[in-house]
Amino acid sequence: MTDDIRQARMAQALAQRAHDLLISHSFAQQQIGYIHTFDLNFGEDVPQRTLLEVEIAASAKRQQQNTSHLKYIAKASSHLHQVIENVINKKREDLDNLYQEVVGIQDTVPTILDILAVKSASVSRLEPLVNDLPWLGRDLVSLVNLPQYRKQRGTSTAVKVDTPALALRYLGLENLQLVIPTFAMRHWMPHATEPFPLLKRKLRDLSMSTAIAARELAELQGVHPQQAFTLGMLLDLGKIAATRLYLRTFEAVWQNKVQIARDNNKKDLHTALLGLQPDALYLRNLLMYDSMQLSKQLIEKMGFRYLPFSAVMEQFALHYLPNSEPLADPLPLTQVLKQAQGYAQYLVLKENNLIEPDEVKIWFDYLDIGPDALDKLAKCSYQTLQLTIN
């Protein structure tokens, strides 16, 4: 095996591990064969009384019944997910529904992002558009009224801001280039992700880290920082779509199958279905292998006029196809986004103690992130935008 192949396989394993962590820490541990130490017995065997023959027979029968029941549940889950996959594939063909209903994107948001990308941008051009998005206006007002920003404005201007128009003026265009993509992604996040309760927060944190890392790397590599930040924030839009689509589809198909089993008096099937929940591995695979294609479709649907994202997303979508080859000639923005996304995944793995020092070196070599870039990235804060409001 050549070094390049070994490096690529390790990179694939680390990317998968980072996606496992989106589901849950315990799921990620299971996927790499982590053994809980409290499951091990390092001392002497605990003396146990000898089982009677009748108890041995009863135990064997229970084991057989449990095995049969688990096989039945697995079969029910497999059938259920075949139906779910068919429904998801059909829904993915309806891009308008995916865009407007599943994710809930309003065309005003891409228009605002486009305006922020040009030199002629002004608060007066943004104001009527923000007024058409009540959720965005509320978020901007709440942001400006946070104690740290009221303090920044000084005692003479530390009055409470109560209109989006005034919030826009306090923030200014430079801050809005960071704030509005961030608030848009937060607005599109799924409201609930049970039985994966931390998934929403992890998706939000991953988007934030990717966007901030992209802006820092863009400054080093001569790429437009605002374009890098905006696309870094939008890059995992497909993960939001995939999560919403899967959880909604699972619930609808599951309820239908439970109703049919009950109506037809199929007690075993009904019992098996009641024990099913959304499948962690199925969702992980959607997030890892299908979401980038969804991101590409949704970002193209946004119809940006001034943000050059289509060609970049085309390259990303090709890169995430199964068994894809490394991009031969990536665009500068593509390279920045690949490195930023990889660094954000590294932060997730490091936070959860699921990456070793030798793996870190392989990962950064694969991403082609040099020492200067790593020094710059290590000094960044990835939890907040570090705004300055005058």
CA distances from 371 to 148, 224, 362 (A): 34, 21, 14
Cis check: omega of the bond before 195, within 30 degrees of 0: yes
Which tokens in the block code for residue 264?
A: 């037809």
pLDDT value at residue 323 = 61
> What's the pLDDT tens digit per position in 331-375?
999 999 999 999 999 999 999 999 999 999 999 999 999 999 999
Question: What was the pLDDT predicted at 59?
Answer: 53
The pLDDT score that the predictor gives to residue 39 is 40
The pLDDT of residue 328: 75
- What would the DSSP string read from start to end of 349-360? HHHTT---HHHH
**Residue 194 token pair:** 């049970």
**pTM assigned to the model:** 0.88
Beta strands in 5-66 (DSSP E): none
pLDDT single digits (tens) 71-91: 788 888 999 999 999 999 999
pLDDT value of residue 156: 56
Identify the pLDDT of residue 46: 41
User: Which pair of structure tokens corresponds to residue 20?
Assistant: 């496992």
Domain 64-378 superfamily per CATH? Hypothetical protein af1432 (1.10.3210.10)
For the stretch 122-125, contacts whose Cβ atoms lie closer than 8 Å and that sit 24 or more positions apart, written own/partner, are 122/173, 123/168, 123/169, 123/172, 123/173
Positions in the chain whose pLDDT score sits under 70? 1-3, 34-69, 153-158, 321-326
Residue reference for tokens 């998706």: 203
Q: Report the alpha-carbon distance of residue 66 to residue 227 in Å, rounded.
A: 56
